[in-house]
């Protein structure tokens, strides 16, 4: 199975080229991958103290409770940090980012546009699929219409 | 200092370092412990405790080292693993074991053998686990090695506090100046801010000269009572304080990742144990996997204000002749890479007054800082010459 399609909760998100990567789920992330396959990026919410954190988290970092529920996020947020890795000739190899979703959770994802290499840049999630057919998040510029609504 | 140490470091063993092939990690550890014991004027028979910290490429190094050294009837024998904080952790556990009477004379050793003749340094610590689950999601985001995580930490700090790449360059340059005074240092060519800026980008904002090297080798030290240390071969270096802090960053907006490390709390706790203030520290040996780690640690310990590590270092404060000598052997950036043993070994040398051309004028209170993971694990120790 070779998944090369990009799915996005927002039709205006640009399609981006996909390189074939290997990625599979494990027991701890099955629900997260199911959610991403259905087209949304979840966050984890602690049922005990309502703290919102990353969907990959196993225990609430605020109260250590283990009753976390996944709930859909807006898929929008701002770059909390970014980097680019380079080959020996200096060309950009990868462009990873940490995105702070508007709900507060951090998500790792590739930044697909050089304009996003700035802390605070507004982004929106898009999904790519791995060689094994699993969806994973990347980040694209937040569509203008959304920004206008926000301002 | 009003407080008197009850435990002290009596021996130090440092093997050959760097691109040296044909040894295993347990070979390096065996040699380092033997050197440390001889340095103290002791024999292996005098050891009744051994703490072992294997590096990431040391599958053969474990507590079977005791048998390889021919040790018998040990009162303490254990692996310790807090990554770059392990040296400080071992010093603390050894001191407590001696204080409690579990043992009298404990060797603490780190060794690693990451370099092969066919291996680039950049690949020696590269992650090769399956691309699966939560860690797989990070790998497909472009995070394949530790350097990139530190780059994300540094970038966040820069955006928040205005730290610049030139600020980080000042740290690399100051440490290179120290390395040029250290006969054991592996990198001693002149280094300027301009060369730092021109060096190739590894992971933005970290240039080549922001990154440490990787070395094969081993380092060990021997801890005993201060009373016994006074009768041994070397000037004893007293253990006045030690502490750890493991922040456990959340993956959400509450995280201080890149902004503040465990050094803040670890430093305060160690100073409280020693009955000292940060202003009393006369020389600091700070874990430096990257220049950024030094910048963040200087701020977190309170040597300078938050966001001021760049100007503080650029002023020359940490370089030879400066007001707070930092990483006086050149650190892992310029001397050799032995995790927390790089700062620990240099602290012992400075505490003894054996630094030669690089010996600091005032060694009254030496701060040693270990950092492990990606700013995840901190251990601090405060050392001072005995009977001062």
- Annotate B153-164 with three-state secondary structure: HHHHHHHHHCCC
The residues of B annotated with a catalytic role in the active site are 287, 337
Q: A3, A133 in Cβ contact below 8 A?
A: yes
Q: Rounded to an integer, what distance in angstroms lies between the CA atom of residue B109 and that of residue B29?
A: 6
pTM beyond 0.90:
yes
Cβ–Cβ below 8 Å for B140 and A85: no
pLDDT digits (tens, 9 = 90+) for B248-275: 999 999 999 999 999 999 999 999 999 9
A86/B200 CB distance under 8 A: yes
The partner residue sitting opposite B250, judged by closest CB among A53, A84, A119, is A53
User: What's the whole-number mean pLDDT along residues B329-347?
Assistant: 98
Query: What totals of helices (H) and strands (E) does chain B contain, helices first?
Result: 14, 11
For residue B240, pLDDT over 80 is answered with yes
pLDDT in tens, B100-158: 999 999 999 999 999 988 777 767 766 566 799 999 999 999 998 999 999 999 999 99
State percent of chain B over pLDDT 70. Answer: 98
- At residue A7, the pLDDT reads 40
Q: For residue B337, which of B286, B288, B298, B283 has the smallest C-alpha distance?
A: B288
CB B52 within 8 A of CB B61: yes
A-facing residues of B in 151-180 (CB < 8 A) are 151-153, 155-156, 159-160
Instruction: List the single residue in B with minimal CA-CA distance to A112.
Output: B141
Q: How confident is the model at residue A20 (pLDDT cuts 50, 70, 90)?
A: confident
In terms of Cβ atoms closer than 10 Å to its own Cβ (0-12, 13-18, 19+), residue A1 is exposed
The distance of Cα A87 from the centroid of its chain, to the nearest Å, equals: 25
Model pLDDT, residue A90: 92
Mutation target vs B (from A60, A96, A104; most B CBs, 10 A cutoff): A96
Using pLDDT thresholds of 50, 70 and 90, give the confidence band for residue A149: low
Chain A CA closest to residue B160 = A119
pLDDT at residue A12 tops 70: no
In three-state secondary structure terms, B349 is helix
Average pLDDT, chain B: 96
Q: Is residue A9 over pLDDT 60?
A: no
Confidence of residue A148 (pLDDT cuts 50, 70, 90): low
User: What's the CA gap between B228 and B105, in Å, rounded?
Assistant: 9
Q: Which of A9-13, B72-76, B207-211, B383-387 has the lowest mean pLDDT?
A: A9-13
pLDDT at position B128, please?
Answer: 60
pLDDT at B387: 82
Q: Which of A52, A81, A130 sits opposite B155 (nearest CB)?
A: A81
Q: What is the mean pLDDT of residues B371-387?
A: 96
**Facing residue for A104 by CB, picked from B204, B205, B252:** B252
Lookup result for tokens 């000598």? B325
């Amino acid at each position: 199975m070779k998944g090369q399609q990009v799915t996005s909760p927002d039709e205006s998100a640009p399609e981006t080229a996909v390189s074939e990567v290997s990625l599979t789920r494990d027991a701890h992330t099955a629900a997260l991958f199911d959610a991403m396959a259905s087209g949304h990026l979840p966050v984890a919410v602690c049922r005990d103290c309502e703290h919102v954190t990353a969907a990959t988290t196993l225990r609430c970092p605020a109260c250590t409770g283990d009753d976390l529920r996944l709930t859909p996020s807006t898929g929008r947020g701002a770059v909390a940090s970014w980097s680019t890795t380079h080959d020996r000739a200096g060309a950009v190899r990868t462009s990873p980012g940490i995105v702070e979703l508007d709900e507060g959770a951090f998500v790792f994802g590739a930044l697909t546009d050089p304009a996003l290499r700035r802390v605070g840049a507004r982004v929106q999630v898009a999904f790519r699929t791995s060689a094994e057919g699993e969806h994973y998040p990347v980040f694209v510029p937040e569509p203008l219409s959304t920004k206008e609504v926000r301002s | 200092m009003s407080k008197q140490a009850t435990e002290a470091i009596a021996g130090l063993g440092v093997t050959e370092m760097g691109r040296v092939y044909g040894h295993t990690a347990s070979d390096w550890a065996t040699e380092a412990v033997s050197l440390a014991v001889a340095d103290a004027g002791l024999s292996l028979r005098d050891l009744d405790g051994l703490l072992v910290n294997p590096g990431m490429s040391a599958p053969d190094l474990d507590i079977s080292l005791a048998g390889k050294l021919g040790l018998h009837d040990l009162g303490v024998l254990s692996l310790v693993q807090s990554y770059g904080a392990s040296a400080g952790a071992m010093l603390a556990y050894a001191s407590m074991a001696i204080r409690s009477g579990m043992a009298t004379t404990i060797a603490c050793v780190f060794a690693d053998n990451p370099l092969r003749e066919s291996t680039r340094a950049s690949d020696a610590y590269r992650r090769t686990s399956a691309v699966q689950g939560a860690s797989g999601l990070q790998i497909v985001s472009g995070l394949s090695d530790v350097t990139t995580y530190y780059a994300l930490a540094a970038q966040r700090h820069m955006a928040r506090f205005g730290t610049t790449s030139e600020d980080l360059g000042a740290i690399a340059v100051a440490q290179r100046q120290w390395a040029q005074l250290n006969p054991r240092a592996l990198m001693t060519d002149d280094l300027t801010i301009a060369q730092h800026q021109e060096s190739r980008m590894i992971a933005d904002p970290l240039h080549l000269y922001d990154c440490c090297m990787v070395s094969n080798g081993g380092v060990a030290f021997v801890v005993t009572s201060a009373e016994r240390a006074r009768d041994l071969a070397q000037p004893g270096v007293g253990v006045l304080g030690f502490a750890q802090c493991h922040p456990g960053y959340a993956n959400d907006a509450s995280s201080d990742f890149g902004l503040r490390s465990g050094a803040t709390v670890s430093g305060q706790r160690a100073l409280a144990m020693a009955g000292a203030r940060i202003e009393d520290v006369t020389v600091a040996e700070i874990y430096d996997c990257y220049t950024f780690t030094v910048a963040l640690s200087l701020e977190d310990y309170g040597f300078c204000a938050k966001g001021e590590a760049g100007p503080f270092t650029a002023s020359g404060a940490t370089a030879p002749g400066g007001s707070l000598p930092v990483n006086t052997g050149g650190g892992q950036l310029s001397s050799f890479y032995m995790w927390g043993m790089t700062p620990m070994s240099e602290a012992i040398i400075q505490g003894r007054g054996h630094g030669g051309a690089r010996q600091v004028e005032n060694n009254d209170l030496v701060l040693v800082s270990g950092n492990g993971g990606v700013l995840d694990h901190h251990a601090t120790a405060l050392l001072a010459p005995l009977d001062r």
